[in-house]
Amino acid sequence: MNKFYFLWVCACLSGCAKEQLSVKKSANYPQQLPIAVSNNAVAYVSVDGEDRFYTFNGLLGGKTYQDVTNLAYVWKKGQWQQLAVPDSQLPVLASIAVTANGHVYLLGGYTVAEDHSEKSVPNVWKIDPHSDQWTAMPAMPTPVDDTVALVYKDRYIYLISGWHDVGNVDLVQVFDTIKHEWHQATEFPLPPVFGHAGGIIGNQMLICDGVKAVRIENKNHFSPSPACAIGQISDKNLTQIDWQIIKHHSGTAYYRMAAAGDDLSQIYFMAGSDNPYNYDGIGYNTLPALPSNQIRKYDIETDKWSIVEGVIPASMDHRGLLKTPHGFTILGGMADKQTVIDTMTYYNELNNREH
């Protein structure tokens, strides 16, 4: 699918006007991914003013266990380049990537065997954007996949809840990218989930939705978790988080949204699906999952949600939302009919806070 979207929404407290703009193509940033891939870990970093977009791992178009990949690419010098992946980096789903202290970090994921058994992996990699060298970091104390990773002070990576082998965990694991040390922080206050999403502004992080799991007679039963919590990280102790449950955006939980905070006061949750699904896009209820074109936006200053529909193409199965100079960016995912796509969606919003 060869599509490129750049959307500019002008909003104010009295209303919202939206306009879809065509954008002159530039060699500085990509128009589409080099492959169609879903459930891929993504990252962005600027190197001497040059854009670097990354995609790692995920699911290719066949959507079987054989289509789980460890392919990795970086956009640099105006083109996509395939990265050499260490032998110990197996093909995985539900890994996650972030940027901290000028490096890209790739964490976790799970393998899928022929018998469909799954195993969470503990891997943490640091990728140098100058040399493309991968360096193994200390492994996660508790391996998790389908987690949320948020970066605090451009140094600390917080992994909030997620799936470990056979069930969800309420752990908040913190990795210090300078000292290469792991810490355990205050537990997540909501029912533990996987496939949730979140963003951070300053020392406040917002986590929403995902899937709860209840184990009955050695079998997991999955249900949506329409709930949100804000965690404020203590200025004096990075492991102390004051969690507060807040009102939900809609009463309907969404799975694998793309989420991130802006530099001001708003945290964005884009796309996803209201029907939790297995990696092939078919719901745990056996119904095909449908992608969403909604943007759910929370303002931490006013404690208010707003929802906008139809200004982004419908998609789902995301592992991150990138904040870039070209706007928030979604890389890949699934579209209608569980189609794995190579689409890149750019979204910019200009808020007039004087009205």
* Contact between 355 and 15 (Cβ < 8 Å): no
Identify the bridge partners of residue 139 per DSSP, sorted by sequence position: none
Name the token pair of 75. 């956009």
The CATH number assigned to the domain holding 283 equals 2.120.10.80
- CA 336 to chain CA centroid, Å, is 20
Amino acid at 321: L
Q: Specify the length of the chain in residues.
A: 355
> What range defines the domain where residue 183 resides?
4-351
pTM: 0.91
Rounded to 5 degrees, φ, ψ at 34 are -75, -20
* Contact between 72 and 82 (Cβ < 8 Å): yes
The predicted structure's pLDDT at residue 348: 87
* Contact between 58 and 49 (Cβ < 8 Å): no
* Contact between 327 and 348 (Cβ < 8 Å): yes
pLDDT tens readout for residues 203-216: 999 999 999 998 78
The predicted structure's pLDDT at residue 114: 92
Closest CA to 242 of 182, 194, 172: 172
In angstroms, rounded to a whole number, what is the distance separating the alpha carbons of residues 97 and 89? 14
The predicted structure's pLDDT at residue 350: 52
In angstroms, rounded to a whole number, what is the distance separating the alpha carbons of residues 100 and 118? 29
Residue 337, SS3? helix
Name the token pair of 288. 């095909």
CB atoms < 10 A from the CB of 47, how many?
Answer: 12
Would you state the torsion angle of the CA atoms of residues 241, 246, 252, 257, taken in this order, to the nearest 10 degrees?
A: -40
Q: How many domains does the chain have?
A: 1
Measured CA angle at 240 (ends 44, 103), to 5 deg: 20
DSSP 68-88: EEEEEEEEETTEEEEPPPPTT
Q: What does the pLDDT profile of the chain (355 residues) look like in tens digits?
A: 333 333 333 333 333 333 333 333 445 789 999 999 999 999 999 999 899 999 999 999 999 999 999 999 999 999 999 999 999 999 999 999 999 999 999 999 999 999 989 999 999 999 999 999 999 999 999 999 999 999 999 999 999 999 999 999 999 999 999 999 999 999 999 999 999 999 999 999 999 999 999 878 778 889 999 999 999 999 999 999 999 999 999 999 999 999 999 989 999 999 999 999 999 999 999 999 999 999 999 999 999 999 999 999 999 999 999 999 999 999 999 999 999 999 999 998 753 222 2
* Contact between 56 and 33 (Cβ < 8 Å): no
